[in-house]
Structure formats: structure tokens, C-alpha cells
Structure 1
Amino acid sequence: MKRLLVVSAHAADFVWRAGGAIALTVAQGGKALVVALSYGERGESGELWKEPGQTLERVKAIRHQEASRAAEILGADFLPLDLGDYPLRVDEGAQERLVEVLVDFAPDVLITHTPRDPFNPDHPVAYEVTERARQLATGSGVASAFRTVRPPEFLLFEPHQPELCGFMPDLFLDITPVWEKKLAAMQVFASQGYLQRYYAERAEHRANHARRISGWPDIARAEAFQRVLPQVVRSL
């Protein structure tokens, strides 16, 4: 049973960028866990702040409801750490909590943000804390005096503007069989409804790339990822 862990800076990031990977993992008999470092209540919930008399706690409650429902649609468990956003600050306690999550869940695949994003101050922070947690949880792949797990495959999901974030995809995932689930999960986020069309179109663009590379004509929707570490195989 493959185990997928997605670390999301804000409550909705996992849906736009890895919703298909999550749904596909679960559909194939695996297990998925989403860790949201924040709800994105300050910088990622613009539609909600248009309502008169809006409050921070109400926005967080709505975002929690949206993210929980989206994760449920995709088949994932949802774990919010509620660290706040813009800026996202991760103290040592939160860092240790993420390490514990990695060790307890023992993912086969770990996915998070790119280390560079000139348009979002929180995404690089999410990468940094995830990378550190991965190193601590795995002991760099050698025997250690503390409890560790086997190093997972480490991937970055596609940022909103990939060319400006140094994102170079080297893995395309066919999400055609679970596209309707990803679409339904995206539609849950009324707080960021404007992104639904963008990521629906992006899935078509990446499918076009995937078809050309693979020659598989039936790929209608795809997600793009970038490997952080080399792939290790026993045969070519």
C-alpha cells in the first residue's frame, strides 16, 4: 500500500497542485495524508474578506471546512497545524511536529512546494521546513540513534508561475481516471474560486505534454512534478 504525504503551506494548495496525485494514490489502494501548515486565512482567502464584518476566526473556520471536505473527496486525511500565514512562521515545536508526522506516517512519496517563489513568501518556507523534516526523519538514509524511516521519494508540485520559480518538470502523472474527483475538490474552495479554471486548464496543458512524451493518446488530464533527488532503479 503506497503512502503519500503532501505538505501544503496553505489549506488549498494541495488541491490545486496535487489533488490528482492524492486521488489516484487512494484509488489504487494507497493512503494519503495532507498536512496544511496554515489555513491561508490572511493572504489566500480574498473572496471571504469581501464580506462585511468578516473576522479572522470565521475565515479560518470556513477554510478548515473547505479543506476538510476537499481532502475527504480526494480520499485523504487532513491535518492542519494552524501556524498562521503571510508570513508563515515555523518554530522548533512545529518543526518537530512535522518530523513526528513523517516518522509515524512513513510515506513512500513526499510532495511539497518549490524552494523559490517570488510571488508568495510562505511557499519557500514550506519547502524549507519539509526538507529539514525529511532529513531528520530519515537520518539521511543511514543508521541513527533515533527512530527513522526509509527515505521517501521527494517531489515538488507545480507552482502557479513555474517559469519564475525554477520549476523544471521531470515527471508527468496521468490523472485522467480521477479528474472528476479533483474537479469536485477544487470546486469546494469558494474562497479561491478564481483558481478553479486556471488549474483545470493547466491539467489539460500538462496532458498535452504528457501525450507527446509518452505517445499515450488517452491522457486527458495530468499533473507535473519535479524530483528533488535522483531516482534509484535496479534496471533501466
Structure 2
Amino acid sequence: MSALSYIQAPAPAGASASASRPAVLVVSAHAADFVWRAGGAIALYAERGYDVKVACLSFGERGESARMWRQPGMTIERVKAARHEEAQQAADILGATLECFDLGDYPLRVTDAALLRLADLYRALRPEVVLSHSREDIYNFDHPLATHVAQEARVIAQAHGYKPEVPVIGAPPVFLFEPHQPEQCNWKPDVLLDISSVWEKKQRAFATMAAQEHLWAYYTRVALQRGAQATRNSDRQVTYGEGYARVFPQVSESLA
């Protein structure tokens, strides 16, 4: 991702510190978040040979599973199992691997052990790109916590004094994907990503999220809106898009 206002596709896979494949890390608060907000980016990078890892901090078993809780005799274990299955199916469709931390939901609480587990994942994966939530979300406090943890773990993974026997990571750029109500979360996109070529995959992925079927049409409209904005801000015709906000300055040899 290198352009400031529009991106058609990820940059070609380059050299990576891990001798295998270049990688992308997605830190998702809940089981469905990565699908609605970053499913297109995940599918694009996976198609280009990247190792895309989704670190899912919670199954969203309380706040994002209302439909399941309306069923008689529902239990927390059954909800978790169902949301895990949905997330796994979606990750498989998009071409990502899924790692679930199961840190609870409403409230989500991140222990030091979980934080260091995520830092270790950075060290092992050595991502070239990191995706997570907006810094603010007045409707869901788990989301800004997830992005805080994603960036704190990134800093730990850069520290020479943390597990000095393991090489530190560099400075992968962090992109914050779109919250459900961006105007209320002080979020605006710096990057518009063209996901038209993988829209069918993203659509199939979010169709696995039966617990949140009411959001299918909403996120289709979001993708069409971002696609229209990408067309407006480029010389390309874009049908479906995703929006991202950068955390750190772009480092480049060119402004184009």
C-alpha cells in the first residue's frame, strides 16, 4: 500500500526477513470484524502469495451474537463454538490463517501474557503490513482496545531487550480499517483500496456470518461507496473499495 489516496492492489511481494513468504498481520477484536472491514485486503494479499494471519482476540460471543442468544437454552460455549466456526470458514475463503486468543467479550480484557503472545507473533510472522481497528469507537470499546494492543505489541516486538535471542522486527506500516460509524469515531480514509477483483470472495466470506446477517447489505453499501470515492480520486473505474487510515507517515522515493 503506497499511494496516499488510491490503491489498486498491494505492492508485489518482495524480500521478507522470514525467508519464506512476505506477510500481513490483521488484529481483529471479534470474530467477524476482519471480514466486514478488511476482507478485501486479506483476499488481495493472499492471492498475491502473502501469508495473511488474522489474530482474533475475541469470538464476539456477547455483544455481537444477539441472534444466537435469542435461541432457547443457548450457552456461552455454544456461541463461542459457532462464532469460531464462522470465522474459520471466512478466513478459509479469504485465504488467511486464523489464530484465536479467546480473551472474552464485553468486556474484552488483554493480559500481559496475551500481549506478549501477540508480540511473539509479530516476531515469528515479521509482517510487512498490519491492519487493525480505528483509535476511537464510542459504540464498541473492544475495538480501540484491539488497535492499542496491536500497536503496543508491535513496539515490544521492535525492542532489542525483549527476548534478545530473537531478531527484532522493523517498522511495518499500520492501517486502521473502517469502523461501523466512521463519523462518530473521528476516522477518515487516507487510502482507498480497490477490492473489485476479490469482491466475490469477500461477499462469500461475510455470508458465513449468520449471527450478523443484518450487516450483509450494510457492508455491501459501504464497499460500493468506497469504490465510488476511489473512482473520483483516480483515473480508474472502481466498483468495490475499502477505506484505511494510516498511523505512521508513508516513506517513499516518490509522491506518485
- Calculate the TM-score normalised by the size of structure 2: 0.88
Q: Does 1:233 align with 2:247?
A: no
CA distance in 2, matches of 1:78, 1:215: 36
Specify the alignment match of 1:202 in structure 2.
Answer: 222
Offset, 1:47:
0.9
Q: Does 1:16 align with 2:36?
A: yes
Offset, 1:235:
2.6
CA distance in 1, matches of 2:169, 2:244: 23
- Aligned-residue Cα RMSD (Å) equals 0.9
Q: Does 1:165 align with 2:185?
A: yes
Q: In structure 1, list runs of 5 or more residues that go unmatched.
A: none
Q: Post-superposition, which runs of at least 4 consecutive aligned residues in structure 1 deviate over 2 A?
A: 144-147
Which of these residues, 105, 123, 147, is aligned with residue 103 of structure 1?
123
CA distance in 2, matches of 1:49, 1:24: 34
Specify the alignment match of 1:114 in structure 2.
Answer: 134
Q: Does 1:151 align with 2:171?
A: yes
CA distance in 2, matches of 1:82, 1:22: 21
Which of these residues, 133, 138, 141, is aligned with residue 158 of structure 2?
138
Q: Does 1:47 align with 2:67?
A: yes
Q: Which amino acid aligns with 1:202?
A: V
Offset, 1:42:
0.7
Bigger helix fraction? 1
Q: Which amino acid aligns with 1:72?
A: D
* Residue aligned with 2:207, SS: helix
Q: In structure 2, list runs of 5 or more residues that go unmatched.
A: 1-12, 14-21
Specify the alignment match of 1:222 in structure 2.
Answer: 241
* Residue aligned with 1:111, SS: strand
CA distance in 1, matches of 2:24, 2:221: 25
CA distance in 2, matches of 1:39, 1:137: 25
Offset, 1:28:
1.6
Which of these residues, 95, 110, 115, is aligned with residue 90 of structure 1?
110
* Residue aligned with 1:214, SS: coil
Which of these residues, 225, 232, 239, is aligned with residue 212 of structure 1?
232
CA distance in 2, matches of 1:9, 1:154: 16
CA distance in 1, matches of 2:221, 2:86: 22
Q: Does 1:37 align with 2:57?
A: yes
Aligned residues: 231
CA distance in 2, matches of 1:220, 1:128: 32
Percent of paired sites with the same residue: 49
